[in-house]
Chain A
Amino acid sequence: MFRDIAEWLANSPAREFSAGLLSSIPGLPPILQTVHLLSIVAIMASIVLIDLRILGLAVPSQQLDEMIVRLRAWTVWGVIGAIISGILFVLARPNRYLLNPVFQIKFILLIGVLILTVCFYRWSAKNPFSHEPGNNIGIAKGVAVVSLLMWIVVVMAGRWIAYSEYLFWPG
């Protein structure tokens, strides 16, 4: 699947456009990478902090239902910002990314954790923690551990794309 998409992208005008943009505007690559990092900051300050709050590790004074509503926009914009700032690099060099096993793992985990996050937001809106804290918090703690680990691996995997040969020696 990744191979087909890479081949299709490699021959698309989007590749030429992205590669041209990244090489012609001085400083664009580090600026976009910084936008990518700042988008991760927004994800850390929203979803990751909510996970830590659920696990009882951070911000005990903040009320969980209120936090979830207040920080939702941060998660949404963080994810949008990260996708926009990351996609140009993938489009410019589709083979380098899509055929890289670390990128593939990152991509699949990212889709997984995004689905988990959407489900968690919908579920917590229907089952406020302030109403029946006893039942909900057990499920929420399980989700929080999985979400926390997945986000950390996704963020770390981003850096490992450039070093995948340490993990997956070709041939």
Chain B
Amino acid sequence: MLNEFFLWLEYLPLAQHIGATWWFPLMESLHVVSMTLMLGTILMVDLRILGFAANRYAISTMSSELVPWSAVSLTIASVTGVAMFITRASTHAVNPALQIKMLLMVLAAINIVTVHCYVFRGVVNWDAGKVAPFSARFSAGCSLGLWVGVFLAGRWIGHIV
């Protein structure tokens, strides 16, 4: 059932077109540009929360000015990622590197929701300080670790196919 869905994706005219033309390297290179910009902006916010960098700026300022860039980059990376996935959907779906990548991305998403719904609630109390509460530093550390894992697993996909 699921496999039939993946095969259906593969046989979409769009998927066939991407897989057979210069669209594929275009998607792949846009994926690299957007994901590096995404992690670059996430990295700055996380290092600020950890108290390692840019401590002269308030955490909420860093976050409100950089998160939109992370979000737009993540959207572009997701669209280009799906565009590549559908060209070989049924093969990619059983690729362990891609499965690990998806798992790590789910964990990163849970981390983001937790940070924005719970951890950031009392941000006004520690916004300008160098030392954020443990929960915030823990989330920032998890975020960095998870995204590095996503990059490594993502890069590994092509070495397994």
Contacts and interface: CB of A to CB of B under 8 A. Distances in A.
Nearest to A29: B159
Interface string B129-154: 00000000000000000001001100
B22 A166 contact: yes
B33 interface: yes
A38 B32 contact: no
B32 A45 contact: no
A156 B37 CA distance: 13
B25 A159 contact: yes
Choose among A49, A60, A167 the residue with the greatest number of B CB atoms under 10 Å from its CB.
Answer: A49
Contacts, number: 84
Contacts of A152: 33
Nearest to A152: B33
B59 to A, nearest CB: 12
Interface string B26-52: 001110110111011101100000000
Contact of A62 (B24, B57, B156): B57
B65 A60 contact: yes
Contact of A41 (B40, B61, B66): B40
Interface residues of B, number: 31
Contact of A155 (B21, B32, B54): B32
A65 interface: no
A160 interface: yes
A163 B22 CA distance: 8
B155 interface: yes
B33 A41 contact: no
A31 B152 contact: yes
A31 to B, nearest CB: 7
Contacts of B54: 62, 70
A59 B37 contact: no
A61 interface: yes
Given A33-B155, A34-B152, A61-B65, A40 B32 contact: yes
Interface string B111-132: 0000000000000000000000
Given A48-B40, A160-B25, A61 B148 contact: no
A40 B37 CA distance: 9
A58 B65 contact: yes
A60 B62 CA distance: 10
A30 interface: yes
A37 interface: yes
B53 interface: yes
Contacts of A166: 21-22, 25
B152 A30 contact: yes
A70 B62 CA distance: 15
Interface string A133-171: 000000000000000000010011111101100110000
Interface of B: 21-22, 24-25, 28-30, 32-33, 35-37, 39-41, 43-44, 53-54, 56-57, 61, 65-66, 69, 148, 151-152, 155-156, 159
